Amino acid sequence: MSQANNALIALKEQILNGELEPGERLLELTLVERLGVSRTPIRTALTRLAEEGLLEKMNSGGYAVRRFTVRDIEDAIEARGSLEGMAARLTAERGVNPQALRNIKECLVQFDKLLEKTDLDDDDIKRYFDLNELYHNQLVALTDSFVIEHALHRISALPFAAPNAFVMAQPDLGQAWKVFFVAQEQHRGIVEAIENREGARADALAREHARLSLSTLKTALRTRAALEKIPGLKLIDTAD
């Protein structure tokens, strides 16, 4: 792995776990000493993190850790839902590759098998996490649109915006199985709408599915045990 990638990973982890605080200005020389790499990979990492939205460029030069409001996170989740809705609608309208449709249906089968068990343990939650990531990747890939995939990648890089942002915290929020069951019904409905060429329904269901994250966000902000499991907690100004 290159020094630039190492620096990127290290800086991102330190931002998300709160070692680098919101509003803190990042100086290249300080980061060189902190991470033990030269200035060039530091500069590359800072640029990448600014592109992902975790840093903001200062008028006086350099970068600072971005502070997020709850509204920022709500907007990011809504934006993801809009893009996934567009992806689902376009796929339904344009038609879907039969093999790709079979693949995403197999993912639904795996979800169903997992949710036959209502008392989910840590391994089950991790399995759900993996399946959920696979499903959302397959859903976007059905569209065969670089533009939509690229836009979704940018949005999902923001804290709390990705489809899996709250999955690992669900056991601490209570009723994890019920939330996952509702999500699975929405997963199935989106795929059925795509297969039946119902673009408007596929769009609406995908947007509604993203709004599950908004409900979870509001619960999580009141539950410290859950928030400790969600990267990026300390970047959010909950007073705003």
> Which burial class, exposed, middle or buried, applies to 149 when counting CB atoms under 10 A from its CB (0-12, 13-18, 19+)?
middle
Residues 123, 190 within the same domain: yes
143 vs 225: which has the higher pLDDT: 143
194 band by pLDDT with thresholds 50, 70 and 90: very high
Kind and range of the H or E run holding 69? strand 68-69
Identify the CATH number of the domain in which residue 25 sits. 1.10.10.10
User: Can you tell me which residue has the tokens 């460029």?
Assistant: 57
**Residue 203, domain extent:** 69-230
Last residue of a domain, one of 38, 66, 94: 66
140 vs 221: which has the higher pLDDT: 140
Residues 45, 80 within the same domain: no
Last residue of a domain, one of 46, 66, 86: 66
Identify the CATH number of the domain in which residue 123 sits. 1.20.120.530
pLDDT, mean over the chain: 89
Last residue of a domain, one of 32, 66, 100: 66
223 band by pLDDT with thresholds 50, 70 and 90: confident
61 vs 36: which has the higher pLDDT: 36
Residues 43, 156 within the same domain: no
Q: Is residue 240 part of a domain?
A: no
Residues 54, 102 within the same domain: no
Residues 34, 114 within the same domain: no
Residue 34 has pLDDT above 80, yes or no: yes
* Structural domain total, the chain: 2
Task: Compute the distance between CA of residue 96 and CA of residue 136 in angstroms, rounded to an integer.
Answer: 15
Q: Is residue 180 part of a domain?
A: yes
Pairing of strands 68-69, 63-65: unpaired
Residues 28, 141 within the same domain: no
pTM: 0.86
170 vs 67: which has the higher pLDDT: 67
Residues 77, 22 within the same domain: no
Q: Is residue 238 part of a domain?
A: no
Residues 75, 159 within the same domain: yes
- Give me the pLDDT at residue 226, please: 63
CA distance readout (Å), 2 to 27, 47, 153: 21, 16, 22
Residues 220, 155 within the same domain: yes
- Give me the pLDDT at residue 91, please: 97
Residue 11 has pLDDT above 60, yes or no: yes
- Give me the pLDDT at residue 227, please: 65
Residues 219, 132 within the same domain: yes
Task: Compute the distance between CA of residue 85 and CA of residue 156 in angstroms, rounded to an integer.
Answer: 15
Residues 26, 113 within the same domain: no
Residue 196 has pLDDT above 80, yes or no: yes
Residues 135, 223 within the same domain: yes
